[in-house]
Structure 1
Amino acid sequence: MGIDEHMRAVVARGYGGVEVLELVTVPLPEPGPGQVRVRVEAATVNPVDLVTRSGALVEAGLMTARECTGIGWDVAGIVDQVGVGAGEFVPGQRVVGMRDLLDVSVGAYAEYLVLDATAVAPAPPGVSAAAAATLPLNGLTALQSLDLLDLVAGDTLLVTGAAGAVGGFAVELAVRRGLRVIAQAGAADEDYVRGLGAEWVVGRDTSDLAGDVRRLVPGGVSGALDTAGLGVRALAAVRTRGAYVTVVGGSAPLPLRGIRVHQQWISADGAALAELAAMDLTLRVADVLPLERAAEAHDRLAAGGIRGRLVLAPRDGA
């Protein structure tokens, strides 16, 4: 096998801290029927990557232990090769995509990634690859969570962690649906979330979140999208027989007062991703680092305080 039939990727050798991340050379993957191979220009670093690397997903029974575990979910890049029946995708096309399989030996932290064509969409026009890569996982999580809430125009929605990646998309998408949004965010982020369309903002202190929200919306909000994993504190802000969705695993409270409670588990959806890519949503990049600095990106994300996403670029120019 020639050198051009290999690629670089970052994997986790075992589980633990950033020391288990390793830059390796692996065979270039080949797309099968209904798949496309993407030459990765940018791969986003998300909190789930840190959880995967730590081994917590193995402990939770969500994946099996591997000697090498693939890291990274979403990418932006250029279609390099297409399999039979891959729809309308063609080589040279700029795309975004997301893998939703946890149990893989190579993930999105790689120079190439093979995805099902149904998990890929044309890239948002006029933005960098780094910015485009921040859309799939977080944008789809927000969209699918709002679908679960099933609210209608004029309803009120609490979004916790509204200045975060999922929360920010949730605010924007909710406003586009005609919802009235209360954003839970820190004082430094108030102007930002108001700029996304939030009607009210409650502070980072969540000790009396329900009281703060109910003073603004007597009786409670129609629904809550809890991206911060606040659980019962966010649930208490919801009216009786309202709706609640969490995106943080293990944080779903009991369905008190007839409230519909859901845990959102993300799934790839190229058609929905194409709709998101055409919406001109706010895409935030904190920094772009080369692939070999993945450990540094994990450390920075774990330290907190980052607004926007850290992005890995297998090549210069993302």
Structure 2
Amino acid sequence: MFAVQIDRHGGPEVLRVREAAAPVAGAGHVLVATVASTINPVDWKTRAWDVGPAFPMTLGWDLAGVVVATESADFAVGDRVVAMSAQLATGLGTWAELVALPTTLVAHAPASVPLVEAAALPLAGVTALQALGPLDLVAGQRLLVSGALGAVGRTAVALALHRGVVVDGLVSRAEHLAPAAALGLSAVASAVSDLKSASYDAVLDTAGVDVSAALAPDGRYVSVADAPLPEIPRAEKSYVQESRADLAELVRLVDAGVVRPHIAHHFSVRQVRRATELFERGGLTGKVALHF
């Protein structure tokens, strides 16, 4: 089989599509033939920074594919599945033709979208779902999401709107205002100063920008970005955790029409360097998919 691996840290030039030993699905695991994955910020950070498991390192967190071997009663050969693997910690990268993962990381894929689209769901979706938890919002409360058109941001917007929360958004570019508004936001702006109100019950920062000025005095602030937290009360980081239950809930919401994974660009996995270069230029309004 083939996999996308690196032998050293660096730029996109260190990415190699090469032959690798095929994994085996042992007890409690499934072997999945990969249909698609996507590129996430953690992928290029792992590649570029001096972090991660030993070399040669297979990258990738997202997975959508078809079960080809299993010893689990929860899955059968031929099942369409999605999974999120914390590659940085476990070394179980998903940018490979075949991936063996514990069943605790795997959920049945949405029936309503193609597997290529479903590949955009796991990491961004679970991140958004888990980040909203500490905010503890109820219907009628007001939420501001920075990076509202990004993969995490747009999922958080959909989840919050489904709960009856009033959601406003911040985007980085003027040309993103209209597509962000189409998500159902009550208001959208490219700067905090452009917002009509600055007294939100909660702020979810997905873009690494300090938008604490928009928060009500007793509001809660959660960030999923690498940037330091603002020095305000009730501010915290949300670090994504692998969760089959959360992934299954997102699948349910996709099939219910609440959440829709969004792919902006499609590449063959053999074009992974080109896809990575596009991703790292930023300004995208959806995920970059890698087809296997």
Q: Please classify the TM superposition score into its range, dividing by the shorter chain length.
A: over 0.9
- Residues 120, 164 of structure 1: alpha-carbon distance in 2 compared, 3 angstrom cutoff: same
- Aligned counterparts of 1:105 and 1:267: Cα–Cα separation in 2: 15
Residue number in structure 1 paired with 2:161: 175
Q: How much does 1:106 deviate?
A: 5.2
Query: Does the CA contact (< 8 Å) of 1:171 and 1:193 recur in 2?
Result: no
Residue number in structure 1 paired with 2:291: 313
- Aligned counterparts of 1:191 and 1:27: Cα–Cα separation in 2: 47
Query: Does the CA contact (< 8 Å) of 1:100 and 1:266 recur in 2?
Result: no
- Aligned counterparts of 1:148 and 1:87: Cα–Cα separation in 2: 34
Query: Does the CA contact (< 8 Å) of 1:98 and 1:115 recur in 2?
Result: no
**1:229 and 2:208 correspond:** yes
Q: How much does 1:105 deviate?
A: 4.7
User: Which segments of structure 1 move beyond 3 Å, counting only runs of 4 or more?
Assistant: 103-106
Q: 1:156-197 CA distances to partner (integer Å, 9 max, x unpaired)? A: 100001011111111111100111111112332333222222
Q: How much does 1:274 deviate?
A: 1.6
Residue 113 of structure 2 aligns to a residue in which SS?
coil
2:3 is matched with which residue: 2, 9, 12? 9
Q: Compute the RMSD of aligned alpha carbons.
A: 1.7
1:216 is matched with which residue: 190, 194, 197? 197
Query: Does the CA contact (< 8 Å) of 2:36 and 2:63 recur in 1?
Result: yes
- Aligned counterparts of 1:193 and 1:87: Cα–Cα separation in 2: 42
**1:198 and 2:185 correspond:** yes
Higher mean alpha-carbon deviation, 158-167 vs 297-306, is at 297-306
Residue number in structure 2 paired with 1:107: 93
Q: How much does 1:265 deviate?
A: 1.0
Residue 88 of structure 2 aligns to a residue in which SS?
coil
Aligned residues: 287
Residue 141 of structure 1 aligns to a residue in which SS?
helix
- Residues 251, 109 of structure 1: alpha-carbon distance in 2 compared, 3 angstrom cutoff: same
Residue number in structure 1 paired with 2:146: 160
Q: Normalising by the residue count of structure 1, what TM-score does the alignment of the two structures yield?
A: 0.85
Q: How much does 1:131 deviate?
A: 0.6
Residue 102 of structure 1 aligns to a residue in which SS?
helix
Gaps of 5+ in 2: none
Residue 20 of structure 2 aligns to a residue in which SS?
strand
- Aligned counterparts of 2:206 and 2:176: Cα–Cα separation in 1: 16
Residue 9 of structure 1 aligns to a residue in which SS?
strand
The amino acid across from 2:281 in the alignment is: A
Q: How does 1:1-318 map to 2 (within 5 A)?
A: 7-56=1-50, 58=51, 63=52, 66-83=54-71, 86-105=72-91, 107-185=93-171, 186-203=173-190, 206=191, 209=192, 211-213=193-195, 215-217=196-198, 220-231=199-210, 234-254=211-231, 256=232, 258=233, 260-279=234-253, 280=257, 281-314=259-292
- Aligned counterparts of 1:19 and 1:39: Cα–Cα separation in 2: 26
Q: How much does 1:287 deviate?
A: 2.3
The amino acid across from 2:182 in the alignment is: G
The amino acid across from 1:77 in the alignment is: G
Query: Does the CA contact (< 8 Å) of 2:85 and 2:92 recur in 1?
Result: no
Query: Does the CA contact (< 8 Å) of 1:68 and 1:105 recur in 2?
Result: no
- Aligned counterparts of 1:10 and 1:286: Cα–Cα separation in 2: 21
Q: Normalising by the residue count of structure 2, what TM-score does the alignment of the two structures yield?
A: 0.92
Identity %: 37
Q: 1:69-127 CA distances to partner (integer Å, 9 max, x unpaired)? A: 221100110011113xx352111000111102414555111101122212111111132
Tell which structure's C-alpha radius of gyration is larger: 1
Gaps of 5+ in 1: 1-6
Query: Does the CA contact (< 8 Å) of 2:148 and 2:157 recur in 1?
Result: yes
